[in-house]
Structure 1
């Protein structure tokens, strides 16, 4: 399945936030060998956070926007990742560009319920813990909420099943109200109340960060212009 889905993506095009499969081979008696692109200066987000601690919100926003755009590409071409977590995000430590990796839990995208999941328990939503069923978009939104909390607080919000079911994260660091709002929306107990990927991108926290980045770029542009003598 992993090879099939990665081939499908390779045929429709390339997205900067999604790892590419370059080739694959069947190894007699040993399964399959996948040849994937390797981002230069790559470090998975788990190690990135472990080394640096909680990330500044502006950096967490930069990562999250790239991740969501990559997921939109996947969904648009009929693929759901199903295991979004820090270990499956690789950061280029020079450019701070990211790539989504490891499609071992991925599946064809559908609107009906899934009844199997090979993802990571602490990133799973309450409905999976309660009934072993879930839908693709609410699952993805929940995982993104856990991931964003992890980035801005330095650790995941839930460890025990009961904590996941309670869906009440406790913020252990100073986090802006706008960022908390997005996290809590993604971690809504009811799947139908969670945002779509498009709604995440249009959330005020995300839009505010976009405006700040634009202003910063404009300031850099002005400061780099040569002064004119009168």
Structure 2
């Protein structure tokens, strides 16, 4: 299979446009749990997706099931650092720009943080947003403290201080409700 786009699915960009440019916290929570789960499963299968972004997440409008697509930038997961970035630049981790290398899981966590920020705010995080997040001064009206805490944990400048990929789904922000999509009969 080269590309799957089952009906009635649409990518996250289309959904955000239809919803006025950003999504409410509850919707983002539903999507993020599944996106983090998908990215983690890829790594557990020794696959680095390397391009987790809005366009590469399909959402089934009827079931709210999320699918991670387009592995064209993917690579075999390894323990050694990667020295080239083949994904979308705005999702690339800061350590790649400062040191010219990055590790798979922390880079994936960074991409998920950019994804979450963009869904909530309708724009990519600016350097100023990242500065405020780092110093725990960033907030957005209507977002819970747990939501802002998770964003800080995903978008930490230092890869070693980011939340682990396998720990994302255990964050308190996800403990509000059952986040798994409805199963088809």
Fold similarity call, TM over 0.5 = yes
| 1:1-230 superposed matches below 5 A | 21=1, 34=2, 36-52=3-19, 53-158=21-126, 163=127, 167-169=131-133, 170-210=138-178
Partner of 1:90, secondary structure, is strand
Cα distance in 1 for partners of 2:102, 2:76 equals 14
**Distance of aligned partners of 1:171 and 1:51 in 2 relative to their CA distance in 1, 3 Å threshold:** farther
1:76 to partner: Cα distance? 1.2
**Unpaired runs of at least 5, structure 1:** 1-20, 22-33, 218-230
Partner of 1:60, secondary structure, is helix
How many residue pairs match? The answer is 176
**Distance of aligned partners of 1:55 and 1:206 in 2 relative to their CA distance in 1, 3 Å threshold:** same
Partner of 2:10, secondary structure, is strand
Higher strand proportion (structure 1 or 2) = 1
Q: Which has the larger radius of gyration?
A: 1
Cα distance in 1 for partners of 2:131, 2:174 equals 22
1:131 to partner: Cα distance? 1.9
TM-score relative to the length of structure 2: 0.86
Contact 1:153–1:173 (Cα < 8 Å) also in 2: no
1:173 to partner: Cα distance? 4.1
Structure scoring higher RCO (CA < 8 A, sep ≥ 6) equals 2
**Unpaired runs of at least 5, structure 2:** none
